[in-house]
Amino acid sequence: MNSRIAAAINLPYQPVAILWSDEIPEGAQMFKDKSWACSLWLTAAAAKGKVAACSRDAFGCFGGGTGLGFGDQYRNFPGGTEGFCRFLSSGNAGHPEGEAVAKALKAFADEHFIEEYLQGECYLKNPEAVRDFIDDLPMRDIPTQYVVFKPLSEIEQQQEEPIVVVFFCNPDQFSALGVLANYSFDGNDNVIFPFAAGCQAIGLYAYDEEEKDHPKAVAGLMDLSARLYLRNHFGENVMSMSIPWSMFQTMEDNVAGSFLERNTWHKLMQSRTA
Is the pLDDT higher at 2 or at 272?
A: 2
Q: What is the mean pLDDT of residues 91-96?
A: 95
Q: Regarding beta strands 52-55 and 16-21, do their DSSP bridges make them parallel or antiparallel, or are they unpaired?
A: unpaired
115 and 158 share a domain? no
Domain assignment of residue 65, yes or no = no
The number of beta carbons lying within 10 Å of the beta carbon of residue 1 is 15
The predicted pLDDT at position 35 comes to: 75
The predicted pLDDT at position 273 comes to: 64
Domain assignment of residue 273, yes or no = no
Percent of the chain with pLDDT over 90: 91
Report the distance separating Cα 158 and Cα 152, nearest Å. Answer: 13
DSSP state of 141: B
The predicted pLDDT at position 109 comes to: 86
156 and 234 share a domain? yes
180 and 252 share a domain? yes
Percent of the chain with pLDDT over 70: 99
Domain assignment of residue 199, yes or no = yes
Comparing CA positions, the residue from 196, 206, 212 lying closest to residue 164 is 206
pLDDT digits (tens, 9 = 90+) for 32-61: 877 788 999 999 999 999 999 999 989 989
- Domains of the chain: total: 2
Comparing CA positions, the residue from 67, 81, 84 lying closest to residue 124 is 84
28 and 128 share a domain? no
Q: Do 149 and 29 form a contact (C-beta atoms < 8 A)?
A: no
Comparing CA positions, the residue from 23, 40, 92 lying closest to residue 196 is 40
Report the distance separating Cα 97 and Cα 254, nearest Å. Answer: 55
Q: What range does the domain containing 107 cover?
A: 72-136
157 and 42 share a domain? yes
Domain assignment of residue 109, yes or no = yes
44 and 170 share a domain? yes
The predicted pLDDT at position 272 comes to: 79
Domain assignment of residue 200, yes or no = yes
Indicate yes or no: pTM above 0.85: yes
The predicted pLDDT at position 69 comes to: 97
Does residue 140 have a pLDDT over 70?
yes
The predicted pLDDT at position 232 comes to: 94
Dihedral sign, CA of 154, 156, 159, 165? positive
160 contact partners, CB below 8 Å, separation of at least 6: 17, 19, 150
pLDDT digits (tens, 9 = 90+) for 99-123: 999 999 998 888 999 999 999 999 9
Domain assignment of residue 208, yes or no = yes
pLDDT digits (tens, 9 = 90+) for 254-267: 999 999 999 999 99
Average pLDDT, the chain: 95
14 and 121 share a domain? no
Domain assignment of residue 14, yes or no = yes
Rg (Cα) of the chain, in Å, rounded? 19
31 and 161 share a domain? yes
Q: Do 191 and 165 form a contact (C-beta atoms < 8 A)?
A: no
95 and 218 share a domain? no
The number of beta carbons lying within 10 Å of the beta carbon of residue 187 is 8
Domain assignment of residue 274, yes or no = no
Does residue 134 have a pLDDT over 90?
yes
Q: Do 241 and 219 form a contact (C-beta atoms < 8 A)?
A: yes
Domain final position from 114, 136, 158: 136
148 and 211 share a domain? yes
